[in-house]
């Protein structure tokens, strides 16, 4: 300490006065240097004369969203046709929906068809740790669009900057960036012929100020395709591929309910890979079946298991398949196997016969029974349960929770929905909800135990066949269960009695 004081005492008084300023200047220099060394993120620009790789012919399964965007393209190409009627081009169009449904693909088609300068940038490019940089980048983007109007600005993953403002002051850079985006959306009118297209997977997380009319005038849902949409998407992605005569795209579309456009593209690509691996000259239906299984269930793996574990897995999967047949599951079993895929040691593959948008309470309860069939088979055959049903139990819990809190299918209060995280609920209401969830799952499990015990002989038949052949397809399973189905039809309805639905 004395040495430090001696050193400072030897420095002239004038130098000591300037020393803090020198340190401050050094800090400013280091900050400026770190900012200048950051990679400059520029938006992707597509000139009107440029050709995009995606056209409207490559878009399928999202007809409503495509029509909305084609209208904007027509407006920019021929504004007089609309303006003479007093119409104005929408300022902003927000495409929202699950990942992989084609939001970015739609934007690329607009880039090709618009005839206008097209700017594309991910919202994550505006996110910085230094306050003001994200806002500056947004200003530059919109300034460039104004200078090159008519123009379209596409912002992907809008939720990276558009999430709700907290007002706590802990994330000032995020708030400044969002505020600048709001200002820019208000800073131009329809005469400038600038359209903002944004995409987001999480509409519920966006700030309400973004969603009001005058900023994003249109909000377009881009959801998973229906049956006709899936077949059209398959036709697009098999264009130019040599297909064997036995390939039925309609059948593939029927068994891929719930898959997005990206999933279907992956199925087509995997089918081509399977065909190439087998040195075939055409893609066969078997290749598509294997590709579908690869996409939905994961990579096939050969795991070394003891005979006891293999027997437990066989009875577990046999329980799922048996209960599915007994309750008349709307999604029949397409395949049951004890071959490992991904993290699953075995699996039962269900394929829907049609798109379903409504489910009765009884159908949801039957779905829980099918999920609990594996656990019930383990308990009946071995007198103990394993951790193999963990994912089944998670899905059963999610169904029961949704039935009580979202669908109003409880017995105590059935005329209103309740948010599970609503802290304003009384303790009595929470207790009733927990009791109703437990009652639903416990009753479903008790009925599943009864069904599996009653048809133990059929359970043994399926399990033995699985141990011998590892895999059973739908026809083989139906042949094994023909006696059970006949017996059930002759005696009594085994599943839960169903109410007549609107589609019956």
Q: Which residues are catalytic?
A: 317
Give backbone dihedrals phi and psi of 350, rounded to 5 degrees, phi first.
Answer: -105, 140
Q: Is the peptide bond before 328 cis (omega within 30 degrees of 0)?
A: no
d(CA 483, CA 108): 55
Task: Give the distance from CA 225 to its chain's centroid.
Answer: 13
**Pair 78, 18: CB distance under 8 Å:** no
Task: Give the distance from CA 342 to its chain's centroid.
Answer: 19
Give backbone dihedrals phi and psi of 471, rounded to 5 degrees, phi first.
Answer: -140, 140
d(CA 413, CA 376): 30
Fill in the DSSP letter of residue 39: P
According to DSSP H, which parts of 328-426 are helical? 361-382, 390-405
What one-character-per-residue DSSP string does 238-284 give? TTTS-B-TT--HHHHHHHTTT--HHHHHHHHHHHHHHHHHTT-SSB-
d(CA 91, CA 82): 15
d(CA 171, CA 155): 21
């Amino acid at each position: 300490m004395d040495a430090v004081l001696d050193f400072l005492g030897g420095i002239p008084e004038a130098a000591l006065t300037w020393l803090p300023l020198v340190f401050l200047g050094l800090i400013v220099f280091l900050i400026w240097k770190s900012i200048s060394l950051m990679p400059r993120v520029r938006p992707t620009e597509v000139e009107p004369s440029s050709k995009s790789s995606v056209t409207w012919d490559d878009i399928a399964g999202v007809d409503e969203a495509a029509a909305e965007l084609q209208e904007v393209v027509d407006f920019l190409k021929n504004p007089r046709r609309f303006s003479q009627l007093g119409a104005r081009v929408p300022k902003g169009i927000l495409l929202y929906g699950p990942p992989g449904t084609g939001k970015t693909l739609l934007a690329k088609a607009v880039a090709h068809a618009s005839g206008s300068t097209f700017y594309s940038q991910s919202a994550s490019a505006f996110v910085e740790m230094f306050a003001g940089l994200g806002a500056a980048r947004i200003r530059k983007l919109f300034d460039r669009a104004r200078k090159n109007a008519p123009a379209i600005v596409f912002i992907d993953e809008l939720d990276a900057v558009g999430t709700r403002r907290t007002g706590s002051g802990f994330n000032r850079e995020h708030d400044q960036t969002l505020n600048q985006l709001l200002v820019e959306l208000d800073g131009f009118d329809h005469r400038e012929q600038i359209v903002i297209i944004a995409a987001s997977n999480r509409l519920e997380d966006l700030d309400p100020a973004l969603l009001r009319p005058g900023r994003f005038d249109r909000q377009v849902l881009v959801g998973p395709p229906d049956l006709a949409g899936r077949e059209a998407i398959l036709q697009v992605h098999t264009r130019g591929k040599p297909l064997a005569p036995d390939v039925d795209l309609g059948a593939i579309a029927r068994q891929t309910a719930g898959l997005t456009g990206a999933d279907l593209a992956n199925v087509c690509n995997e089918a081509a890979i399977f065909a190439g691996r087998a040195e075939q000259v055409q893609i066969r239906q078997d290749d598509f079946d294997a590709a579908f299984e690869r996409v939905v269930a994961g990579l096939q793996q050969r795991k070394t298991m003891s005979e006891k574990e293999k027997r437990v897995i066989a009875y577990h999967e046999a329980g799922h398949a048996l209960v599915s047949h007994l309750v008349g599951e709307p999604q029949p079993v397409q395949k049951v196997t004890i071959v490992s895929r991904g993290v699953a040691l075995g699996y039962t593959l269900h394929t829907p016969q049609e798109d379903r948008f409504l489910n009765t309470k009884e159908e949801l309860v039957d779905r829980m029974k099918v999920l609990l069939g594996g656990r019930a088979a383990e308990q009946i055959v071995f007198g103990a349960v394993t951790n193999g049903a963990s994912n089944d139990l998670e899905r059963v819990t999610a169904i029961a929770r949704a039935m009580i809190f979202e669908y109003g299918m409880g017995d105590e209060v059935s005329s209103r929905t309740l948010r599970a995280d609503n802290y304003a609920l009384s303790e009595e209401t929470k207790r009733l909800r927990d009791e109703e969830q437990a009652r639903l799952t416990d009753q479903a499990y008790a009925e599943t135990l009864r069904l599996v015990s009653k048809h133990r002989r059929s359970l043994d038949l399926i399990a033995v066949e699985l141990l011998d052949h590892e895999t059973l397809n739908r026809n083989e399973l139906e042949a094994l269960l023909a006696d059970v189905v006949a017996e059930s039809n002759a005696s009594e309805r085994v599943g839960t009695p169903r109410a007549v639905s609107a589609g019956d």
